[in-house]
Structure 1
Amino acid sequence: MNVSTNMAALQVTGAQVAQPGAAAPDAPNSAIKEFEAMFLTQMVDEMLKQVEIGDFGGGQAEENWRFFLAEAFSREIVDQGGAGLSASLERALSAYSQTREME
Structure 2
Amino acid sequence: MAATATSPTPAALGALTTYDAHPQAKAASRLDAAAVDFEAVFLTQMMQSMFSGLGDDGPLGGGPGTDAYRSMLADQYGRSVASAGGVGLADHVRSELLSLQKGS
TM over 0.5: yes
Relative to its length, the structure with more helix (as a share) is: 1
Amino acid in structure 2 at the alignment position of 1:57: G
Structure with higher RCO (Cα < 8 A, 6+ apart): 1
Q: Deviations over 1:30-79 (max 9, x none)?
A: 1221121111111111111122424x5054x1110110010111111012
Match 1:35 to one of 38, 47, 50: 38
**Aligned residue number for residue 57 of structure 1:** 62
* Larger Rg belongs to: 2
Gaps of 5+ in 2: 1-23
Identity of matched residues, %:
28
CA distance in 1 between counterparts of 2:74 and 2:45 reads 8
* RMSD between aligned residues: 2.3
- Superposition TM-score, scaled by structure 1 size: 0.62
Between the two proteins, the alignment pairs up a number of residues equal to: 76
Q: Which residue of structure 2 lines up, in the alignment, with residue 8 of structure 1? A: none
Superposition pairs of residues 61-76 of structure 1, within 5 angstroms? 61-76=65-80
After TM superposition, where is structure 1 displaced by more than 3 Å over at least 4 residues in a row? none
